[in-house]
Chains A and B, each alone.
Chain A
């Protein structure tokens, strides 16, 4: 079964979503990521969605959930590289993901993570 790879980079975890998200994949990612945070004691999670072209309310909610779960495990989540069309869709769906921090690209996201986690 296909999985989204989770890479460890120092104190942070890097998740790059390069395939079309479907619901089971999203749930699998949620599972894997929380396990990895607990195992590694990571202080931050960076999710790169620059290749994601389509979102629905489920995927939107999943992003919000992942951020909430990570913060329970004491890791900050930064979502980077959201496309304009995806951003407009999420806003029109009424999901502005208030608990998620965002950045333009991976580089800025890493800076942000480094800054907020001290």
Chain B
């Protein structure tokens, strides 16, 4: 196969191959005219064919891992990455390369009448296009994975904000499932903020946690225990009725922690413990949070012990 005529055929018939490749791409059902214009597709096809022709003529037609194919590989990697971002499916992306086969075959057929040569060259073209197609699919997969990893990291950072509700009161609205990695991040963020702000009460709001199983409950309790060791009390709020049922059915012991149904209730408890009260504008009617609570009582209410 060392003296394959494939490079020569490609170089000599670049224009014909390009036009027949373009027409087969445009006819194919997997062309996404909504995502990619014909002009862009034409430009990409032309650039790819030029790179391929140059690479193939530099020797080792089927060695797509060789240095001479570096440009082709780069081109395909960029193409896969941009297609992945635009929302193409893997099949649609790979078809870009695989649709080149028909165009190549017809040029090979025109170039020779010798059956032996025809069969050899066709085989060479098949192997080449398959390799390039698989490479494209792999690259596509890789860029999708990178996308997913980046989104995961962003989600991790976005979903663990620690909010100061009042001087001395922190809130931690948890969104999404709590796994070990996230619990670690949540715990570290919370404890760090407790030190920075000197807060004595932290409210863990689990309204956004879809399910609570024994593992999630254990992670919550760990966070509560760590905060308590530092001298801050935790209140868990946002417990939905279904979750309350699950917790009891699972036999999770939450009795050492103050729990409230809503964040507002938890905030009211926090205010009361700090001996703060909310009044309306005229100062006449005290709001429900202002139940008389002496500071000493507030301190004695601390959980645990």
Residues of A within 8 A of B (CB): 79-84, 86-88, 90-92, 96-99, 101-105, 108-109, 111-112, 115-116
Contact = CB atoms under 8 A, between A and B. Distances in A.
Contact of A116 (B194, B295, B299): B299
B231 A88 contact: no
B222 interface: yes
Given A84-B191, A88-B191, A116-B299, A102 B200 contact: no
Given A88-B191, A111-B299, A82 B229 contact: yes
Contacts of A105: 198, 231
Q: Interface SS of chain B: helix, strand, loop or mixed?
A: helix
Given A82-B231, A102-B231, A104-B200, A115 B295 contact: yes
Contacts of A90: 226, 229
B230 interface: yes
Interface of B: 187-188, 191-192, 194-195, 198-200, 222, 225-232, 256, 295-296, 299-300, 302, 304-305
Nearest to B294: A115
B91 to A, nearest CB: 47
A115 B226 CA distance: 23
Contact of B229 (A99, A102, A112): A102
Contacts of A91: 222, 225-226, 229
Contacts of B305: 98-99, 101
B292 to A, nearest CB: 17
11 contacts: A82-B229, A86-B229, A87-B191, A87-B229, A91-B226, A98-B305, A103-B231, A104-B195, A104-B231, A104-B232, A115-B296
Contacts of A86: 229
B156 to A, nearest CB: 18
B226 to A, nearest CB: 4
Contacts of A96: 225, 228-229, 304
